[in-house]
Structure 1
Amino acid sequence: MSHVQVLVVGLGPGGASAARKAAEAGLEVLGIERNRSIGEPVQCAEFVPTPMGAYTRADQVLYQRISGMKSILPSGEAHQSDFPGFMINRARFDQAIAEQAEQAGARLRVQTRIERLDPTARVALLRHADGTESVSYDVLIAADGPHSTVAKLLGLPALATVNTRQYTVPLLTQYADTDIWLSDEYPGGYAWLFPKGNRANLGLGADRRFEDDLKKPLESLHRQLVAAGLVGEEIYYRTGGAIPVGGLRERLVHQRCLFVGDAAGLTHPITGGGISAAVVSGERAGECAGAFVSGADDAFDDYEEDVRDQFEATIERAVARRAYLNRQWRTQAAQSDDTMRKGWIAFSEYFSSVEA
């Protein structure tokens, strides 16, 4: 049986960031990714806010800058707001962080998954192309997404999710804003157009309890935008995935296992934005592992407290807004601009008290 000081499961932005920070602290780090390639397949709208600018500087990461957001209400009224950020090549974004982790000394493996876990003995059974192997660890960092295998192996409850579907299509005009459609056609979510040069990500999310067919409304929106001359008919790429929307896990640390990013429930339950929180929590988890191995008995408590201090209030507000909207979907109230304004971050009503 081999031993590592830090085992990282999942090498998206959270896991890769954790591996980088732990390796920079001088720890022996093994990071595993179940897919064939880090960052692929891309299941993301590929937007990051301005504070993530430093992470967009690696080669081939940045597509373009974004200046604002247009929020389109059920009546058709469009609300313009400042919402600066960057459209990125998400695969290259993840890969660039992983490359930095390897440069710092982390060992990274693809097509490797965790199959069993003994949290008391701190031993994980890993499966890869050549078979299985057991690896013992001092700290485990779970960055394996909303359907976290690590969480399942620890017997933790599944996170509530919504599903998304997205097309990458030709963009026929220069565009510097993100477009958001708020409508009962996308219950539990919204539709979006995010530009990236001469292409755009056109997608939507919805709660399957209210709408199980995501293809039909997305194709309808695509046809509308083709008719308006904004995008082309061709579909370069199709993708989709699950986004956690239920808020943070009850605990972010379990038996020397730290949850980060989507696996921790850190994705914003209204916007679905999660890249920034994944990077921040991943970096903090890697630093926590370094502190713990160096003898800091309170390292895990510090991680729990720090991440909650940074994200919990915002996420709790979004969870409350989701609960409010869930009572409105498929009713007449969901056709009201006032209702949608209370459930979307671009409007002042979002930040008022929650209705019963």
Structure 2
Amino acid sequence: MDCTIVGASFAGLAAASVIAQRGLRVRVMERKADPGEKLHTTGIIVKDAVDQIALLDLMPSEFVRAVPGVRLYAPSMRYVDLDAPGYYFLATDTPNVMRWLAARAEQMGVEVLLDSPFQSATRVRGGYELDGVGETRYLIGADGPNSQVARSLGLGLNREFLFGMEYEFEGLALAADDRLHCFIDRKLAPGYIGWIVPGVGVVQVGLARRMRPDADAIKRVMEKYLAKIAPVLDVRTLEPQSIRAGMIPCGGVIRPVATERALLVGDAAGMVSPVTAGGIHTALKHGLAAGHAVADFLEGKCDDPCHWFAKTYPRFRKKRLLRFLFDHFQSDWFFNLMLATAPMRMAASQVYFHRRGALTPAGARVSTTAKAVKGGEFVK
């Protein structure tokens, strides 16, 4: 086999598709029996990804819905609406998106092995011997934040995490369904936020916070969180149709991220924004780039990507600094005080709209209507 990719993830399937397109033999090993089950992502895709990644042009329209704005809530539940002209987020039916990506990869010649967990890799001349699978000339680890490929090869490991939980509810109507609802609260979500997403056929309600992966503890936090956001959407008496939970790496790209004839991509590499915890955009972008780099090497056109491609991974220097500040200096009273001010709106635009909001010189405008919750209704 020319290349084996561990993990039918966004990054793994993107890399596999590119390598197969180049006429090389590539397989994807996935421990799950269904690439769409037991996901650990809310599935938000930013407009920047849609603009930059042609692969997404082919995604079935019924798997996505555009959400054009953000409603940002302070701990007091006062909020501002943030918009940038022409900008939007795509909420996705993520399980079906992953199934579509896997099926498309197979159509392009990728051998997708489901229910096939990675065991170990032994370095041999010309590549690796994979336990139970055979030899491969190149190995890509796209197997999540606790990468077994990284452990097997002695590569870096993610050590800084957020732990998140999300409930999905069907048949609900959200009053402001053109917004991603984001809630700041240091007690409930230290180091991150809570959210309500008007998804595809569902409403997604979740939060992430700095804590050890303790499902029981975060369930107790979720109860308090659901009570707090009840004036916006009351789901306290409802049973979710599905529950997602998992760890989100937030420490930046790990080191080392590659070795001879092997490299890591996506969450396995820590390629997740330390501030927003968004990883789909970078996973797709660098997964595609990794596929081309590995294909070039296997075709004899360049040196092993382990020596140069890893240098193209984002460093997240500023975002890691913001992560440090948010972890150590997050203050509820500060957000309550500053929510509707111009500096706060500008900072929020940087985070949510990637420099397209209030700081865009071409006249992009951020709506800043500040409101509060009273008696279950929004009032000025």
TM-score band by shorter chain is 0.7 to 0.9
Aligned to 2:321: 320
In the TM superposition, residue 13 of structure 1 has moved relative to its aligned partner by 0.9
Is 1:76 aligned to 2:77, yes or no? yes
Which residue, 36, 40, 58 being the options, matches 1:39?
Answer: 36
Q: TM-score, normalised by structure 2?
A: 0.80
Task: Tell me, yes or no, if the aligned pair for 1:117 and 1:124 is still in contact at 8 Å.
Answer: yes
| In 2: Cα distance, 1:200 partner to 1:181 partner | 15
Is 1:253 aligned to 2:258, yes or no? yes
Is 1:263 aligned to 2:268, yes or no? yes
Deviations 1:298-340 (A, max 9, x none): 351452233x3xx33xx222211111122235xxx45421799
Deviations 1:210-254 (A, max 9, x none): 998221232223234445456574211111111110001224321
In the TM superposition, residue 344 of structure 1 has moved relative to its aligned partner by 10
Which residue, 6, 9, 20 being the options, matches 1:9?
Answer: 6
Task: Tell me, yes or no, if the aligned pair for 1:261 and 1:274 is still in contact at 8 Å.
Answer: yes
Higher relative contact order (Cα pairs below 8 Å, separated by 6+ residues)? 2
| In 1: Cα distance, 2:143 partner to 2:57 partner | 22
Of 92-101 and 184-193, the range deviating more from structure 2: 92-101
Structure 2: give runs of 5+ residues left out of the alignment. Answer: 355-380
Task: Tell me, yes or no, if the aligned pair for 1:186 and 1:211 is still in contact at 8 Å.
Answer: no
Aligned to 2:20: 23
Higher strand share: 1
Which residue, 78, 100, 104 being the options, matches 1:100?
Answer: 104
Aligned to 1:199: 202
Deviations 1:133-179 (A, max 9, x none): 24211111110010000011112342021111111124323501101
Is 1:165 aligned to 2:171, yes or no? no
1:61–1:172 distance in 2 versus 1, CA, 3 Å: closer
| In 2: Cα distance, 1:10 partner to 1:269 partner | 22
Q: How does 1:143-292 map to 2 (within 5 A)?
A: 143-159=142-158, 160-170=160-170, 171-173=172-174, 175-184=177-186, 185-208=188-211, 213-229=217-233, 233-234=237-238, 235-292=240-297
1:8–1:198 distance in 2 versus 1, CA, 3 Å: closer
Of 88-97 and 103-112, the range deviating more from structure 2: 88-97
Task: Tell me, yes or no, if the aligned pair for 1:145 and 1:262 is still in contact at 8 Å.
Answer: yes
1:219–1:163 distance in 2 versus 1, CA, 3 Å: same
| In 1: Cα distance, 2:286 partner to 2:338 partner | 33
RMSD: 2.9
1:229–1:200 distance in 2 versus 1, CA, 3 Å: closer
Task: Tell me, yes or no, if the aligned pair for 2:128 and 2:138 is still in contact at 8 Å.
Answer: no
In the TM superposition, residue 77 of structure 1 has moved relative to its aligned partner by 3.1
Structure 1: give runs of 5+ residues left out of the alignment. Answer: 127-132, 352-356
The residue identity in structure 2 corresponding to 1:11 is A
Aligned to 2:364: none
Of 186-195 and 143-152, the range deviating more from structure 2: 186-195
Is 1:64 aligned to 2:68, yes or no? no
In the TM superposition, residue 108 of structure 1 has moved relative to its aligned partner by 0.8
Aligned to 1:130: none
Kindly tell me the number of residue pairs found equivalent between the two proteins.
335
1:198–1:230 distance in 2 versus 1, CA, 3 Å: farther
| In 2: Cα distance, 1:348 partner to 1:18 partner | 29
Of 106-115 and 38-47, the range deviating more from structure 2: 38-47
| In 2: Cα distance, 1:242 partner to 1:33 partner | 19
The residue identity in structure 2 corresponding to 1:162 is L
